[in-house]
Amino acid sequence: MSVRVLRPLPEAHVVITGGAGFLGSHLCERFLAEGARVTAVDNLLTGSRDNIAHLLDEPRFTFVEHDVTRHLDIEGDVDAILHFASPASPIDYLRLPIQTLKVGALGTHNMLGLALAKGARFLIASTSEVYGDPQVHPQPETYWGHVNPIGPRGVYDEAKRFAEAITFAYHRSHGVDVRVARIFNTYGPRMRMEDGRAVPAFMNAAIDGVPLPIHGDGLQTRSLSYVDDMVDGFLALLTHDEVGPVNLGSPFEVTMLQLAEAVQDACGSHPGVELHPRPVDDPQVRRPDTTIARERLGWEATTPLAVGLARTAAWWREQREAA
């Protein structure tokens, strides 16, 4: 199979699975802004029409409500497929374990088949969770990870590890032009209010004036990137020759206690924190080695945490007041 060179974005047709989700909807916006034609595919299991309502009248935008674990055909040329369909927060994949495994396996298989049929470039949204509770810090792309495959978080971790494996199998066996992005913690407008991850949980508590819920002693760390930076990273990877995997995330690490304080500052409310039991297999540390992204893609996360949280808090208050 001969793979077409990716056309300039104003001439391109891009398919985005999970297009009504948090990251997917921002991707739809960005590609439309670049002049591309966008087909968003989502079964709305964890995505929302509200995230793309402002795009529905755009003539270059098409929304297809569909579960990608079933066969999908797209008419005409397709230049790129960005596969972002999956539950992504612990509260979701613990509630939807089978669906999470199916979209990582069957969904990725189907979208790779579509990429093969169309000669399209394929970018898979993988995750820092492929590293599990890491024994190497920070985590480079060469690290194979420390994952409990049968633990409650394993449904997400292993779904993404399989997704990477089948993506490289199609690359090696069929010549599919692939890109693999390992996404570290990302936050910003359009995260679900009841998402369950740290930033949404902290925002809700701070605005309500109740103690922010922290699991364990709060000394576990994460590296957080603002969504606009992350979308820049996806675009940089898609349009570069680098196959990956490539870590996309912030190299600056904060403890959960530090994040809780930063969220309270952003919300202008300081009700303090409350400690809760630590979830099973919750990683103690998380920070990407971003050398490849920085040196080969020329990309790095640049939005300071305080700035990104202030933007997120402003959006959060608007949504809460409108509800």
Q: What token pair was written down for 32?
A: 């439309």
What tens digit of pLDDT does each residue of 179-224 get?
999 999 999 999 999 888 999 999 999 999 999 999 999 999 999 9
Confidence (pTM) = 0.96
Query: 114-149 burial string, b = 16+ CB within 10 Å, else e?
Result: bbbebbbbbbbbbbbbbbbbbeeebbebebebebee
In sequence order, which residues have a C-beta less than 8 Å from that of residue 52 and are 6 or more positions away?
19, 20, 25, 28, 40, 61, 63
Domain 9-188+224-250+288-302, classified CATH 3.40.50.720, yes or no: yes
Query: Could you check whether 9-188+224-250+288-302 and 198-220+253-287+308-322 share the same CATH topology?
Result: no
From 3.20.20.140, 3.40.718.10, 1.10.3720.10, 3.90.25.10, which CATH number describes the 198-220+253-287+308-322 domain? Answer: 3.90.25.10
The answer, yes or no, to whether residue 168 has pLDDT greater than 90, is yes
Q: Is the dihedral of CA 157, 159, 162, 168 positive or negative?
A: negative
Asked if residues 84 and 18 have their Cβ atoms less than 8 Å apart, the reply is yes
What tens digit of pLDDT does each residue of 251-308 get?
999 999 999 999 999 999 999 999 999 888 888 999 999 999 999 999 999 999 999 9
Q: How confident is the model at residue 164 (pLDDT cuts 50, 70, 90)?
A: very high
What tens digit of pLDDT does each residue of 221-264 get?
999 999 999 999 999 999 999 999 999 999 999 999 999 999 99
As a whole number, the mean pLDDT across the chain is: 95
Kindly list the domain boundaries of the chain, sorted by start residue. Answer: 9-188+224-250+288-302, 198-220+253-287+308-322
Angle at 206 between CA 46 and CA 226, to 5 degrees: 55
| pLDDT recorded at residue 2 | 43
Q: What token pair was written down for 110?
A: 């189907």
- The DSSP secondary-structure symbol of 193 reads T
Q: Which of 93, 131, 156, 170 is catalytic?
A: 156
- What are the angstrom distances between the C-alpha of 101 and each of 86, 88, 92, 197, 236? 9, 12, 12, 20, 28
Known active-site residue 156:
yes
